[in-house]
Structure 1
Amino acid sequence: MTNPRIGVVGIPGKWSTEVLADAIEQRTGFRAVIDLQRVSLDLASGRLEHDGRDIGELDALIVKKISAEYSPATLDRLELLRMAEARGVRVFSGPEKMRGLINRLDGTLTLHQAGIPMPETLITEDLDSACRAVQRYGEAVFKPLFSTKARGMGVISADQPEEMLRAEVAAFQRDNPMLYLQRRVELPGRDLGMVFVGGHYLGTYARVPQDGASWNTTIHSGGRYEAFTPDASLIDLATRAQAPFGLDFTTVDVAETPDGPIVFEVSAFGGFRGALEGAGIDAAGAYLDHVLSQL
């Protein structure tokens, strides 16, 4: 297909969205950044309108970001992309594939069923069970089912009076009825983002906390990117972790521990900045090469 019309589903003005749109425009001469919050679906006509354009007439959509933060509403936006597919638009990655990673619980269960090592995890609505797990773990990271970049997460320690521990867990549960908690893992000063395009390994970067100031390494919490070269066993682990999801582009979050490597999560979208700044990889360009090869 010569000069396909490829739109970017993302957040206008955000770095990764604009970098991908720039790459597409340079290669094809076409540019369209589509904010799903501004898309309307008219079922009578089947028209998917964004700023006067029917995106159902495009050749393809590359999904960089559906919303700034994950929420159940994010799943509703995936339905709009499903309608685009029904109109014949190629969507990368497909909405059904992304659906399994928007909700943290869904993605966790898929990884567990694939035999991928993860931190010890408890999922429950029972407050007593959650408190007992914190006492077993010593420290637990509580995670919302819908979040990105560690937003909304918190650490609760067993090293406090039981009534205070219970109060902390109850406070978290007020906004998160289904509790998801993991044993806090001591990281070796970094965790890894392992990048895949079309299921093929592209490279790895490390996230390092700012002077050890945070319990997590996310850039949102002040971390920074560095280069890292993994061994074959780490690449194999990340390859197996991303395989069940079948995404066109993703990063796998991996950490090395004294007991062996573990996977924190597979990203529904994956970022470009870490690959570029940490590993010198033009992930946006590599992703576009993959999409063009499929059209």
Structure 2
Amino acid sequence: MSLPSPPAVHRLRVAIMTDEIGWHTRQLQKALRARGGVGRCIDLADCEIDTSAGPHGLLLPGYGRTLPDAVIVRGIAAGSFEQVTQRLAVLHALQALGVPVYNEARAIERSVDKGMTSLLLHAAGIPMPPTWATESAARARRILVREGAAGHALVRKPLFGSQGKGLMQVGATPEGWVDLPAERSGHHYLQRFLPPLAQPGHDWRVMVIGGRAVAAMRRVSEHWVHNVAQGARCEAAELTPALAGIAEAASAALGLDYAGVDLMPAAGRHPLQVLEVNGVAAWRGLQQVTPFAVAQALVDDLIDRKMAGLSATRPQPVATAPLRAVSMRRA
């Protein structure tokens, strides 16, 4: 009499949503293997909505008629409004179908839109430079003149942007008066410039995972833009209680599972101020100056907190679960 075969062990399958495969995705795949899982890299641009294909109406490369056990969002490619809307809709739908998404689409929407980020940080009472967002060129110039009269330069930033690209110092800059670009229409996101307190200047990047600040670095540069992509060098930094507290509060204000929070030293009663909160944060520079295993911490937080209560050996119930109603409005 033959004995029944043991049940097959379900291996955790995680989709890593990314438009670039490289160091970060390899780090995540290695960390997933250490937890007995496997990570498949997928570009959200290749994901489709197809209501004829199966009960859940989604097609993800490599998953056939099933869905992954979880999703890690590592990158979303730029595109038209329609393209980006569909990519975010796929993330919204996955979450509605019971697939844990890390970070969730709504949290990413909050962090990608600098105007919404500023509003939420302000509402939470988190120190940050005075910020304005307007579609009126006349209003933007009045702000520029008023701030200039008080001796303040402004930084004009793209509403959607990262890695320090497209930043422009305007108004009463150290090099003299710089006017806003001549545009008949458009959008102006302006933030008061925080001059460096010493030379070379620096800011801090603090990594927050699962609501807890876990590592920090200083980004040092002779230039006023301190992004690593713009040539800043990374230095190890102590994660002080002050840095950790503000970074954790900023991440919580946006509802992020993980975040890279950028802070500047400043004169006055708020010696630390938040400049940006990145919901799809890179950590290669940080990993070079800290022994803390960032990718492993991300994966551990996904499995141990985000997926808590879900059986690691469960079948794929999301393949047949009905899609619950979900709002696709931007936060």
For residue 210 of structure 2, the aligned residue among 198, 213, 218 is 198
Between 1:251-260 and 1:271-280, the stretch displaced more is 271-280
Instruction: Give how far 1:116 is off.
Output: 1.0
Partner of 2:297: 286
Between 1:146-155 and 1:5-14, the stretch displaced more is 5-14
The reply on whether 1:50 has 2:60 as its aligned counterpart is yes
Distance (Å, rounded) in 2 between the aligned partners of 1:39 and 1:264: 33
Partner of 1:277: 288
In the superposition, the TM-score normalised over structure 1's length comes to 0.87
Partner of 1:132: 142
- Write the mapping of 1:221-260 to structure 2, written as runs, cut at 5 A: 221-259=230-268, 260=271
Partner of 2:44: 36
- Secondary structure, aligned partner of 1:62: strand
Partner of 2:113: 103
Instruction: Give how far 1:292 is off.
Output: 1.6
The structure-2 alpha-carbon separation of the partners of 1:250 and 1:2, relative to structure 1 and needing over 3 Å to count, comes to farther
- Write the mapping of 1:87-166 to structure 2, written as runs, cut at 5 A: 87-135=97-145, 136-137=147-148, 138-158=152-172, 165=179
CA RMSD of aligned residues (A): 2.4
Instruction: Give how far 1:270 is off.
Output: 1.5
- Secondary structure, aligned partner of 2:182: helix
Distance (Å, rounded) in 2 between the aligned partners of 1:110 and 1:181: 16
Partner of 2:313: none
- Structure 1, gaps ≥5 residues long: none
- Secondary structure, aligned partner of 1:192: strand
Instruction: Give how far 1:78 is off.
Output: 1.2
How many residue pairs align between the two structures? 285
Partner of 2:69: 59
- Secondary structure, aligned partner of 2:279: coil
Instruction: Give how far 1:219 is off.
Output: 1.3
The structure-2 alpha-carbon separation of the partners of 1:54 and 1:2, relative to structure 1 and needing over 3 Å to count, comes to closer
Identity of aligned residues (%): 28
Structure possessing the higher radius of gyration over alpha carbons: 2
Instruction: Give how far 1:31 is off.
Output: 3.0
Instruction: Give how far 1:83 is off.
Output: 1.4
Contact 1:56 1:89 in 2 (8 A): no
- Secondary structure, aligned partner of 1:284: helix
In the superposition, the TM-score normalised over structure 2's length comes to 0.78
Partner of 2:21: 13
The structure-2 alpha-carbon separation of the partners of 1:161 and 1:268, relative to structure 1 and needing over 3 Å to count, comes to closer
- Structure 2, gaps ≥5 residues long: 1-8, 308-331
What CA deviation, in whole Å up to 9, does each residue of 1:217-245 have, x standing for no partner?
11111112111114322222222221122
- Secondary structure, aligned partner of 1:43: coil
The structure-2 alpha-carbon separation of the partners of 1:291 and 1:2, relative to structure 1 and needing over 3 Å to count, comes to farther
Contact 1:127 1:169 in 2 (8 A): no
The structure-2 alpha-carbon separation of the partners of 1:50 and 1:129, relative to structure 1 and needing over 3 Å to count, comes to same
Distance (Å, rounded) in 2 between the aligned partners of 1:197 and 1:255: 20
Distance (Å, rounded) in 1 between the aligned partners of 2:98 and 2:182: 47
- Secondary structure, aligned partner of 2:12: coil
The structure whose RCO (Cα within 8 Å, separation 6+) is larger is 2
